[in-house]
A and B are shown apart, each in its own frame.
Chain A
């Protein structure tokens, strides 16, 4: 079956612009996670969605970052007024259910470059 898909694959933007990154989880998966991978910070958690519940935003680095998940499926991560330090690979993952025992399956990521 189809895995986690993300779009765009690559995004180049100018400092100060807004960007939207999209994640389409595996069908039937209720939990969705966003992570960021950068040279300096490694892989770090950003935000978590479980079904239609309020997301856990504890990992978002600033209020310029926001995310939503519509209909319990597709998620969009928005970065406003992008900065050069936002350049990273943004990875989305989904799992069948929430919980520590569940395996998260990752998408191919979106490579964001802020000039």
Chain B
């Protein structure tokens, strides 16, 4: 079963629209971390945010905001007033404390959401 689900494969918006990217995760751990990464056309994964399971406060960074809700196992990402430069694939990822293997910190990624912002 997928540990991280990003149900939206592709989203298209027009510049200045707000857009929310959904992320639902699954874990039995009480301690875990969630991440968002951006992958622009150049291909490099760019770190955006890290959130631990004990901190449910929403976070805002400029036009970006994140809504973490443990009750629904969701960690959604909103871009306000989108811009063409926001066009990229966005990945949500989970890191668990207890892993079946011994790898500390391996990331489980969702399939990503391709966001296209049109001018």
Give A residues with C-beta under 8 Å from B: 31, 33, 35, 42-45, 48, 50, 56, 58-59, 89, 91, 93, 95, 98-109, 111
Pick out which of these stretches binds chain A: B10-18, B39-47, B61-69, B79-87: B39-47
B8-51 interface code vs A (CB 8 A; 1 in, 0 out): 00000000000000000000000111010100001111110010
B32-A106 in contact (CB<8A): no
Query: Which of A44, A93, A100, A102 has the most chain B CB atoms closer than 10 A to its own CB?
Result: A100
| Residues 47-61 of B contacting A (Cβ, < 8 Å) | 47, 50, 52
Given A100-B33, A103-B50, A31-B105 contact (CB < 8 Å) = yes
B106-A33 in contact (CB<8A): yes
Residue of A48, A105, A108 near B42 (CB, 8 A) is A108
Give B residues with C-beta under 8 Å from A: 31-33, 35, 37, 42-47, 50, 52, 91, 95-97, 101-112
Q: Shortest CB–CB separation between residue A94 and chain B, in angstroms?
A: 11
Q: Is the interface of A mostly helix, strand, loop or mixed?
A: strand
Q: Is the interface of B mostly helix, strand, loop or mixed?
A: loop
Cα A108 to Cα B50 with chains together (Å) = 20
Q: Shortest CB–CB separation between residue B18 and chain A, in angstroms?
A: 27
Given A100-B32, A100-B95, A42-B44 contact (CB < 8 Å) = no
B37-A106 in contact (CB<8A): yes
Cα A45 to Cα B91 with chains together (Å) = 14
B33-A101 in contact (CB<8A): yes
Residue of A31, A42, A50, A106 near B45 (CB, 8 A) is A106
B112-A42 in contact (CB<8A): yes
